Amino acid sequence: MFEAIVFTIVGCGFRPRCALEELDSGTVRLDKIRQIIASCLYGIHDLSRVEPSASGKLPRFNMPFELGLDIAARAFGSAPLTRKHFLILDARPYRYQKFISDISGQDIRWHRNRPGKAIEITRSWLRSTSGRTGIRGPLEVKRQFFEFGRQLPENCARLGLNRKDLLFVEYVELARLWMDTAP
């Protein structure tokens, strides 16, 4: 899901941001997230990964927490932050009410754990929210994502990269290069 959303952001001509873009252990992760939130007009939050771990332990609540930070930035931040726009995604309708009911009333979209659906939603939201023209249609972005994914292992091998260990910045760079040369 993450790769589908990131590819869509690149394919629509935007720059995806994520705390994984910087691996400096000297920077506190929360500071990275805060800086990204402060520098972005758009925020995409996928709440679908809050299931308990395989061992039955507690789930990870990083994404709901980051969504809360973004909402607070919009509510309490300075002028640029008050104009932030959000896309909130989840896997199933109304599932979020079990773990973060305070966001009831938000327009939450459901991708049903299907990358193609996440691509459609993300692309349409970016197009309508930004007002940009010239953004490829959702069917084309989906086709390109699946073709990019099919070619990705070969492209990684050609560049001496391990597909399973791609850094966020490498994935973004490969997606951008692929989009620049795609038919």
- Give the pTM: 0.91
Region 71-86: mean pLDDT is 92
Residue 163, Cβ density class (10 Å: 0-12 exposed, 13-18 middle, ≥19 buried): middle
- Residue 92, pLDDT score: 87
- 171 and 177 Cβ atoms separated by less than 8 Å: no
- Residue 52, pLDDT score: 75
> What is the residue range of 58's domain?
2-181
Count how many domains the chain has.
Answer: 1
pLDDT digits (tens, 9 = 90+) for 98-135: 787 778 778 889 999 999 999 999 999 999 999 999 99
Is residue 183 scored above 70 in pLDDT? no
The residues near 125 (Cβ < 8 Å, ≥ 6 apart) are 44, 87, 109
* Percent over 70 (pLDDT), the chain: 98
Go through 95-108 and write b for each residue having 16 or more CB atoms within 10 A of its CB, e for each that does not.
Answer: ebeeebeebeeeeb
The closest alpha carbon to 81, from 28, 35, 30, 121, belongs to 35
